[in-house]
Structure 1
Amino acid sequence: MTIARLHRPAAVGAAVIAGALILTSCSSGTSEPEGSSSGDGGEMTDPVELTLLTGTVELNVQIAEAVAAGFNEANPDIVVTVDASMPSGSEGDNLLKTRLATGDAPDMFWYNSGSLLQALNPDSQLLNIADQSFLSNVQESFIPTVSTANGTYGVPIDVAGGGGIFYSIPIYEELGLEVPTTWDEFVANTQAIKDAGYDNALIQSFGDTWTSQIIMLADYYNIYNEDPDWADKYTANEAHYADTPIALRSFEKMQDLADEGLLNKDFASLTFDQALERMANGEGAQYPMLMFAIDTMVDLYPESADNIGYFAIPGDSASANGLTVWMPPAIYAPADTEHQAEVLRFMEYVASPDACAARLDAGVAAGGPFVVNGCTLPDDVPQAIKDMLPYFDNGNTAPALEFLSPIKGPSLEQILVEVGSGIRDAGDAAALYDEDVKKQAQQLGLDGW
């Protein structure tokens, strides 16, 4: 998964989601999407060459190359080549915007779903695929993340993932702890682990400041569960973190951990990679993180597949227990592509179980549910992934705020480091962050700002 707003470094993105797939087969080459063409009576011609632009994150490149290879084998009249040269973060965003605006965009490109897509002006610059029948293969929950009121523009190229807390199953069993379903239970568990002599009862890794955001961002399910329209109000400047009690709780939870002294002693300097190693080798008891990190832990210590569990950021009531979800990125094309028929054939393939099979056959595993119908996960995925799936099965999920609102202030990670370090209290932090988002909202030209 590509986390649109966390902007992980490329080295971090290479350590992503593990598992395997059992797939139902389906032929993607037997029918053509609307607007496509099969050639001129079977005469031998040179294949049409298409370029798929991706970033440099290793897993993303592996997925793209596996899917392209599977497509090329099934469609010898088209050759898709992966160009893994797009920079990470805002540099890549700006480069893509420039290429689209100047007519220099590649045939297709890998990009975020959700609110960041709106900055590409999709209605004027991207190929509208709303009338393509292959979209019926894509789960309905994904479609809004690649759509505007006027069209749909992308097909999912990876899996969905959750935000929550990894925990050590052996430590929980040793201390007789139950998986918490309320925040108070979670704090009590953490205190019990610390009292038992574990220095890493709850790991934070502010040496990589982006990791400070996990608890706050992954708490969004609890806001959504109380007020499903909060994101719209937030975007319209009608609701804010500081004046919405359930939203303020996302900051207060960080303060709770600081006030109780529950973090590892080296939280200020510990890095993401070091935190994962502590969890993997059994030193760490709990670590707030996105699901993609399970792959690194299993690589470091294979026993992590059975020893690491996962649960969502708890709310204040056990009846409001659910998971915040990051939707997968997508494949898009510029509106003025010279090879529309061939691009649509590739998109049709991406939105099929055949593309999942190509990924699996290439040894590129998945660590969350696919949003393409017909792609399922087997029983032997890591325990952390098994723990995540019931939230999806029971419908207790909500998309992360970044898929519902374009507003995210640039200073969030630094603000949360201050809260987690005990430097700033939750109320001040929420008010500061509400001010932080104003400039961005005004730059986007949003109504109400």
Structure 2
Amino acid sequence: MLKKLNATLAMGGATALALSLAAPAYAQDQVELTWLVDNGPSTVDIAEALVAAYEEKNPNVSIELEIRPGGGEGDNIVKTRLATGEMTDIFVYNSGSLLQAIAPQQTLMPLTDQPFMDNVQEAFQSVVSTDGEVFGVPYGAAQGGGILYNSAIYEELGLEVPQTWDAFMENNSAIDEAGYIPVIQTFRESWTSQIFVLADFYNVLQAEPDFAERYTNNEAKYATSEAAQKGFERLAAIHEAGYTNEDFNALGYQEGLEMLANKEGAHYPMITFAIPSLETNYPDQVDDIGFFALPGDDADSNGLTTWMPAGVYVPQTTSNPEVAMDFLGFIASVEGCEAMIDAVGANGPYLIEGCGLPDDVVPAVRDMLPYFEEGRVEPALEFLSPIKGPALEQITVEVGSGFRDPASAAELYDQDVRKQAQQLGLEGW
């Protein structure tokens, strides 16, 4: 049930703020928490499921959801309410570098010493931490950036999932000779052109582990980093080899998924948030769609660039810190994880120890799991640095269309990044 309430709710007695070791106060007293979430359908569905499951276990606790807009408007609401001390008892917000925009050390309660943080995988803890303190638990599933592929084509041609870029290009050659489109591109929606650059970041970190820090400090550039520039080079190589569909500039995202599902093309560079659309629109073909990470130069360092879920946080202004913490502990438990899966399905790992995925997940989701289980994952650059130039998708369209070479693209993107870093007021720019 959704209700919009004021952020400050009384707990019913001053003693309710201190929990007894023998029995928590909220076990006897009625406690009300408020929770601010954005209006995304899956966000709300997850929240409702978690509230229902927690309230069933804790009948003396009532959690009221407050819904905010998404995008910039919602972002401003979060920042304003934190600044004015009017934030709800718990709230959902970005993980990664964008978390720094709300100064977590000054506004949030640290979770570092909470026992339930042992359940949260380090891959997520790293993107909700600053100055040695951890501040959030994961809300939803992680996603991966790489290649969705048609396994029926692979089986027909006797191909194996590539571990290196050279092996990937060899597969593309065989696919081309067989009369299929090797790589689907959909530049009518220009954001899709970025995947080769963004998903290559795991490979960048294998060559330059401190790239994100130096990049943020204006000490590393795409134009002067051989590893970072390779994303542009790989995008160009696909076009130069003639491995894309001829209508790549006119085709859109949903049409690209249709081509992949209908076995017209073998590979679609994409983030795995596309999987639910494939499940919904192509239920008879989705079992023929797999996924692998964007290959780099070395099979021994093959791994996945990941897009982490948002976090759930407790502001320092909450009037119910113990109960709020207990609810976060529930979210970070196997039971809480299963409530999220029941609400929206399993389209990626949930980063909670012990929370396995159902046996009937589609192959593309199953293909992601070994990367996480084996620790072969790194967050996308946007989770490690606040700098992402707004013109990247226009630049990658030019590279992927053969109108700009990779070296000049890297230089142009560095210029775009400088403008944004200066707007953010970062030191050294």
TM-score, length basis structure 1: 0.86
- The correspondence for 1:347, drawn from 322, 328, 332, is 328
User: Is 1:415 aligned with 2:398?
Assistant: no
For residue 41 of structure 1, report the CA deviation from its aligned partner.
Answer: 9.2
Amino acid at match of 2:209: P
Which residue does the alignment assign to 2:378? 398
- The correspondence for 2:35, drawn from 52, 73, 98, is 52
Which residue does the alignment assign to 2:13? none
Distance 2:155 2:24 in 1: 63
- SS of the residue corresponding to residue 376 of structure 1 reads coil
Structure number with higher relative contact order (C-alpha < 8 Å, ≥ 6 residues apart)? 1
Alignment of 1:292-371 (within 5 A): 292-360=273-341, 362-371=342-351
For residue 216 of structure 1, report the CA deviation from its aligned partner.
Answer: 0.8
Q: 1:170 to 1:115 in 2, by over 3 A?
A: same
- SS of the residue corresponding to residue 79 of structure 1 reads strand
Amino acid at match of 2:63: V
Q: Is the 8 A contact 2:18 2:25 kept in 1?
A: no
Q: 1:137 to 1:396 in 2, by over 3 A?
A: closer
Question: Quick one: percent identity of the two aligned structures?
Answer: 51
Which residue does the alignment assign to 2:67? 84
The structure carrying a bigger helix percent of its residues is: 2
Deviations, residues 41-92 of structure 1 (Å, cap 9, x unaligned): 976x5x333232222222222112111111111111222233333223x333
Q: 1:343 to 1:252 in 2, by over 3 A?
A: same
User: Is 1:73 aligned with 2:53?
Assistant: no
Distance 1:56 1:271 in 2: 26
Q: Is the 8 A contact 1:36 1:344 kept in 2?
A: no
Q: Is the 8 A contact 2:87 2:317 kept in 1?
A: no
User: Is 1:232 aligned with 2:193?
Assistant: no
Q: Is the 8 A contact 1:367 1:385 kept in 2?
A: yes
Distance 1:366 1:41 in 2: 33
- The correspondence for 1:164, drawn from 132, 146, 163, is 146
Distance 1:124 1:104 in 2: 15
Q: Is the 8 A contact 1:280 1:298 kept in 2?
A: no
Which residue does the alignment assign to 2:44? 61
For residue 316 of structure 1, report the CA deviation from its aligned partner.
Answer: 2.0
Which residue does the alignment assign to 1:27? none
Deviations, residues 178-236 of structure 1 (Å, cap 9, x unaligned): 222221222232233233222x4311122222222211111011111112111111111
Distance 1:390 1:160 in 2: 13
Q: Is the 8 A contact 1:159 1:371 kept in 2?
A: yes
User: Is 1:249 aligned with 2:225?
Assistant: no
Amino acid at match of 2:380: A
Which residue does the alignment assign to 1:173? 155
- The correspondence for 1:130, drawn from 112, 129, 135, is 112
Equivalent pairs, count: 411
For residue 164 of structure 1, report the CA deviation from its aligned partner.
Answer: 0.8
Amino acid at match of 1:206: F
Distance 2:25 2:95 in 1: 36
Q: Is the 8 A contact 2:187 2:249 kept in 1?
A: yes
User: Is 1:112 aligned with 2:94?
Assistant: yes
Distance 1:91 1:192 in 2: 48
Q: 1:434 to 1:55 in 2, by over 3 A?
A: same
For residue 303 of structure 1, report the CA deviation from its aligned partner.
Answer: 3.2
Q: Is the 8 A contact 2:199 2:294 kept in 1?
A: yes
Alignment of 1:174-193 (within 5 A): 174-193=156-175
Which residue does the alignment assign to 2:4? none
Amino acid at match of 1:157: Y
CA RMSD of aligned residues (A): 2.1
Q: 1:265 to 1:115 in 2, by over 3 A?
A: same
Q: 1:171 to 1:410 in 2, by over 3 A?
A: same
Deviations, residues 80-131 of structure 1 (Å, cap 9, x unaligned): 233333223x333233222222233232221121101001111112222223
Distance 1:322 1:271 in 2: 28
Which residue does the alignment assign to 1:15? none
Q: Is the 8 A contact 1:123 1:150 kept in 2?
A: no
Distance 1:41 1:328 in 2: 30
Distance 1:128 1:336 in 2: 13
- SS of the residue corresponding to residue 285 of structure 1 reads strand
- Residue segments in structure 2 that go unaligned for 5+ positions in a row: 1-16
- Residue segments in structure 1 that go unaligned for 5+ positions in a row: 1-33
Which residue does the alignment assign to 2:6? none
Which residue does the alignment assign to 1:10? none
Distance 2:309 2:343 in 1: 19
Which residue does the alignment assign to 1:9? none
- SS of the residue corresponding to residue 127 of structure 2 reads helix
Distance 1:99 1:284 in 2: 48
Distance 1:107 1:227 in 2: 40
- SS of the residue corresponding to residue 266 of structure 1 reads coil
Which residue does the alignment assign to 1:22? none
Amino acid at match of 1:124: Q
For residue 372 of structure 1, report the CA deviation from its aligned partner.
Answer: 1.4
- SS of the residue corresponding to residue 392 of structure 1 reads helix
User: Is 1:278 aligned with 2:281?
Assistant: no
Q: Is the 8 A contact 1:36 1:345 kept in 2?
A: no
Distance 1:244 1:285 in 2: 31
Deviations, residues 403-428 of structure 1 (Å, cap 9, x unaligned): 22221111111111111122211111
Which residue does the alignment assign to 1:14? none
TM-score, length basis structure 2: 0.89
- SS of the residue corresponding to residue 86 of structure 2 reads coil
Q: 1:161 to 1:432 in 2, by over 3 A?
A: same
Deviations, residues 293-332 of structure 1 (Å, cap 9, x unaligned): 1222122222334211111111123333211122221101
